[in-house]
Structure 1
Amino acid sequence: MDQEITCGAMPITQINAPDTQSKCWAWIDENFEKIFLVSGLLLIILFITFQTTYRYLITHFSDTAGAAVWSEELSRYIFIWITYLALSVAIKKRSSIRIDIIFDKLPLRWQNASWVMVDTFFLILTLTICWTGWSQIERLLEFPQHTTALGIPYIIPYMVLPVGFGLMSLRLLQGLGRQVRICGLKDTLFALACVALVVSPVFVAEYIEPLPALFGYFVVLCLLGVPIAISLGLSTLATVICADTLPIQYLAQTAFTSIDSFPIMAIPFFIAAGVFMGAGGLSQRLLSLADEMLGGLYGGMALVTVATCMFFGAISGSGPATVAAIGALTVPAMVERGYDKYFAGALVAAAGAIGVMIPPSNPFVVYGISAQVSIGDLFLGGIVPGVLTGLVLMGYAYFFSKARNWHGEVRERSVKTLGKAFWNAKWALMVPVIVLGGIYGGLMTPTEAAAVAAFYGLIVGVFVYREIGFKKLFNCCVEATETSATIIVLMAMATLFGNIMTIEDVPGTIARAILSVTESKLVILLLINVLLLIVGIFMEALAAIVILTPILLPVVTGVGVSPLHFGIIMVVNLAIGFITPPVGVNLFVASGISKAKLSELSKSVIPMILLMIVVLLIITYIPEVPLFFISK
């Protein structure tokens, strides 16, 4: 007869059970949202790829023509769900777009207290949208509606408002609990008192003018380190309450409708494509190709770095992603070959900025949606500025290296070795062909091209190069959805903010004020470029685009600048912000890779910034340069 083994008076099974249960809960707590993010992202990639294939291949061989309209509708709603679920993951990691120049100067004690303030402000917004979102559900229960293609009850997609923002609130409360334990009671009470002080005018004052409330709260919250998206949402909420401009339910409604858009889905798809291809080993093969082409010249490895960033930029559409993927390979190699590590870090940071110019580009997608400009035309318009910037940086790297006698690697290079490098990189080189060829060949929309590129990158990484296993795929999907969620929620909150500005005619007022001072196109473009360069020092490019586009667009169109040309100017200008201290994100990534002090890296990048400004002025005042391919 089996006997139960005991430890003292308690059975071992009883000892292990709570431990197993706690591990189970810990796993669920860590991965609950991630399971939905991974499955949701893969599903919408497959659905949109199927939609594209169905339209141009399957219907070609059948008597039934048309499109799989259900796939777009279903994908949009899955996309909305995973966006807001991904934000709760970003909350846990404290991954957000924010201005932290003041935060970074604070002692550790006050940084911890600052997080209590930030999380509390964030919680106010999520609870508000959760509450107003539930009112949307009650309305849909009373007056049921169904989607057009699939006949899904609208209550299902709209449930993301109470569920998604409720889950965010839970994650914020968890974070607050941890932060309170770190800060202690005294500092926590001080932080909460600061929150109450900031919030009090909304409830104390009977009425506050909309614009002071809107911009005042936005500036204060940004300076306090609240994520820019949340600052936009909270300043809108404050204005709605104290100026009675719109019903408070408007926040939840717009949080849904502003991202219920097929074009905006290009953002997660392009990000996923870049993540899959970076993890799948494509960056190493691009590097080998560039090394074969340029590695033997003076400053060969520096030239290879710039060229590879240009290649990879045509895949990832992201500056920091380009720096991380290429810099991790090239900076150690440059230092090993005798290059100055500050030059190496600065160069990869500057070259990484090309990633947002050469298509596909997430900033171009965001601008295209904000300004209602063709994303395809913006992609074409980014080619010349991106290539021109790359050539300028390569020229600088060549002469800088030659002056210091930094030779290229001496080894045999021939047509045969070059052909082999091209062949090894063929899968990576096909990505721009798929994206641009699909768009300009009339086969795909930018969103469909992005989905196909993501699907292609997934297939290559998993089945061709076999460098993406299940765990890496899981992490790639989480990274892609988390990154895209911070961008998309920023756009949603900017829509709230922008609608208040439209009601108050802020863009028109600013345009009239500027045009009353001068109507010179040259002067206005110069002033706007200076403004954007300053903004780029302190604010992330995507945030600047969604906030400033509705303000500046009426100004430039008033002096005859096309929205397309201005979009190219804006993106190229803000790309420089990726490498301008003190908050240039590319510099931070390059600093980590090169193990170089940020202050020294900032000095080394100054000549490159000046050269990029020269390129900016060329594309600003000679529109035929950026619009070369479009005019053709």
Structure 2
Amino acid sequence: MSVVIFVAMVAALLLLRVNVVLVLAAATAYIHLYFASGSALEFLAQDIWFAIDREVLLSIPMFIIAGAVMTRGTIAARLIRVMSALTAPVPGGLAIAAVLSCAVFAAISGSSIVTMLAVGSIMYPALIQEGYDRNFSLGLMCSAGTLGIIIPPSIPMILYGIMTETSITDLFVAGILPGLLLAALFCAYGLWVNRGRAVRPWDLREIATAIRDGVWALLMPVILLGGIYSGYYTPTEAAAVSLVYALVIELLVHREMRPRDYVVVVYDTTRLLGTLLPLLAIAGSLNTVLDYEGVPREAARFLAATLHDPWLQVVGINLLLLAIGCFMDIGSAILILAPLLLPTVQQIGLDPVHFGVVMIMNLEIGYLTPPVGINLFIAMVAFKESFGRIVVSVLPFIALMLVALVLVILIPDLALFLVQAGR
């Protein structure tokens, strides 16, 4: 009877469109009271405290604020100018410049939405003005924005590392080659689709001017990632470095951002964290009680008993993640599913770092799939296009992302080679 009441309660809250934080809180409280042996409601408060009492959580708001500062300032625009100047002689050069700009900006923002808005708000009108196909341009900007969660630093990787106690630095390193592979596939597709377009020769003066004006922006990913991988500072310290660097460059060097703009950025970030951090805290409590009750172990046994071949289990897990990505945002999915699935994939023989990259690549596709594809809805507002048109535009890019996902699954060294080389 308790199970029926639990399912009915969750279903009713979801149908009433209650905030996901409140749904998860109610579900977790019910589990503590009626399912967990020897538990009590006060354990929920204890678990919440333990979940948020982590230094690495400080990196999330700082990366978000740093990305927003660079979007409001001119760092993003200067990066785009450099990439556009360098790709001018290539057919479809502006499309390739858009992908490269997203890749570089991803390396300093850690967010898909920030990357898409920062680069797309400039590049999408430019692509249309240059005569690029509207559907191609839409799909390109929506899809290239997702590089922000696979190319390090990545906020979803930080969440996965927290929930599974996996090295965040290793996850960052593991995301480099898969991220570059995905960017290369996007560039190759852009080159093929626009292979008949006219090109213009390199303008050495324009290249020199763009690099001179964008030198501080170009140095940022070098300083940020170089410090992490050299061990000079931790991912949390890197987030502080990125924020301070962005503020110094935008306020004192470029001087195209005002202090009151920073107040707006902090306010917007605070509103975002008002959803993310409670979700993280409650998910931590849920994961604690599920682990105590042995749910991950039982799930692993069930999967092994149902699908005897390890490769079938891998396929089953990936299909599950792809389906979940269609209905749940990536943060919620990682917080709930990562600790639940990790024992299963370890039993199969997958490395936790490799699985982290695979999981994020699966959920990354969810940014582009209805009904909850967040990049689709952001693009509707940012680019003023219909939802249906945007969905159609991303289909070729989803196919490319699936190709990259399969390659990373079949060739673990794409994720692990740099990690092992650095040890």
Tell me if TM exceeds 0.5.
Answer: yes
Aligned to 1:534: 323
Label 1:378 to 1:243 Cα distance change in 2 as closer, same or farther (>3 A): closer
Q: C-alpha separation between the residues in 2 aligned to 1:328 and 1:389?
A: 21
Q: Determine if contact 1:343/1:601 at 8 Å carries over to the other structure.
A: no
Q: Determine if contact 1:508/1:554 at 8 Å carries over to the other structure.
A: yes
SS in 1 for 2:349: coil
Aligned to 2:30: 238
Q: C-alpha separation between the residues in 1 aligned to 2:9 and 2:410?
A: 36
**Post-superposition shift, 1:319?**
0.7
**Post-superposition shift, 1:256?**
2.7
Aligned to 1:497: 286
Letter in 1 for 2:232: L
Aligned to 1:334: 127
Aligned to 2:386: 597
Rg larger for: 1
1:137-536 correspondence to structure 2 within 5 Å = 208=2, 217-243=9-35, 245=37, 246-402=39-195, 405-408=196-199, 410=200, 412-414=202-204, 416-536=205-325
Q: Determine if contact 1:346/1:587 at 8 Å carries over to the other structure.
A: no
The CA deviation string for residues 371-407 of structure 1, in whole angstroms up to 9 with x for no partner, is 10000010011111111101101111111122xx443
Q: C-alpha separation between the residues in 1 aligned to 2:182 and 2:293?
A: 39
Identical positions, percent: 35
Letter in 1 for 2:2: I
The CA deviation string for residues 219-264 of structure 1, in whole angstroms up to 9 with x for no partner, is 5433432222221111112233445752222233333332111012
The CA deviation string for residues 30-52 of structure 1, in whole angstroms up to 9 with x for no partner, is xxxxxxxxxxxxxxxxxxxxxxx
**Post-superposition shift, 1:411?**
6.1
Label 1:585 to 1:275 Cα distance change in 2 as closer, same or farther (>3 A): same
Q: Determine if contact 1:310/1:358 at 8 Å carries over to the other structure.
A: yes
Q: Determine if contact 2:185/2:400 at 8 Å carries over to the other structure.
A: yes
Q: Determine if contact 2:251/2:257 at 8 Å carries over to the other structure.
A: yes
Q: C-alpha separation between the residues in 2 aligned to 1:452 and 1:213?
A: 49
Q: C-alpha separation between the residues in 2 aligned to 1:239 and 1:606?
A: 39
Letter in 2 for 1:237: A
The CA deviation string for residues 187-227 of structure 1, in whole angstroms up to 9 with x for no partner, is xxxxxxxxxxxxxxxxxxxx725xx6666644543343222
Q: C-alpha separation between the residues in 1 aligned to 2:415 and 2:8?
A: 37
Q: C-alpha separation between the residues in 1 aligned to 2:54 and 2:15?
A: 31
Q: C-alpha separation between the residues in 2 aligned to 1:412 and 1:563?
A: 45
Q: C-alpha separation between the residues in 1 aligned to 2:338 and 2:12?
A: 21
Aligned to 2:364: 575
User: Among residues 602, 616, 620, which one is paired with 2:405 in the alignment?
Assistant: 616
Q: Determine if contact 1:435/1:446 at 8 Å carries over to the other structure.
A: no
**Post-superposition shift, 1:592?**
2.4
Label 1:407 to 1:539 Cα distance change in 2 as closer, same or farther (>3 A): farther
Q: C-alpha separation between the residues in 2 aligned to 1:215 and 1:406?
A: 56
Segments of 5+ residues of structure 1 without an aligned counterpart are 1-206
Q: C-alpha separation between the residues in 1 aligned to 2:206 and 2:92?
A: 20
Label 1:557 to 1:325 Cα distance change in 2 as closer, same or farther (>3 A): same
Aligned to 1:145: none
TM-align CA RMSD:
1.9
Label 1:429 to 1:218 Cα distance change in 2 as closer, same or farther (>3 A): farther
SS in 2 for 1:296: coil
Count of aligned residue pairs for this structure pair: 420
Aligned to 1:95: none
Q: C-alpha separation between the residues in 1 aligned to 2:98 and 2:17?
A: 34
SS in 2 for 1:269: helix
- TM-score under structure 2 normalisation? 0.94
Q: Determine if contact 2:112/2:149 at 8 Å carries over to the other structure.
A: yes
1:74-85 correspondence to structure 2 within 5 Å = none
Label 1:521 to 1:425 Cα distance change in 2 as closer, same or farther (>3 A): farther
SS in 2 for 1:258: helix
Q: C-alpha separation between the residues in 2 aligned to 1:220 and 1:371?
A: 31
The CA deviation string for residues 546-570 of structure 1, in whole angstroms up to 9 with x for no partner, is 1111211111000110111100100
Q: Determine if contact 2:287/2:336 at 8 Å carries over to the other structure.
A: yes
Higher RCO (CA-CA < 8 Å; seq separation 6+): 2
Segments of 5+ residues of structure 2 without an aligned counterpart are none
The CA deviation string for residues 591-630 of structure 1, in whole angstroms up to 9 with x for no partner, is 3233221112211211110111010000011101121211
Q: C-alpha separation between the residues in 1 aligned to 2:348 and 2:267?
A: 44
Q: C-alpha separation between the residues in 2 aligned to 1:334 and 1:479?
A: 29
Q: Determine if contact 1:384/1:625 at 8 Å carries over to the other structure.
A: yes
SS in 2 for 1:583: coil
- TM-score under structure 1 normalisation? 0.64
**Post-superposition shift, 1:573?**
1.2
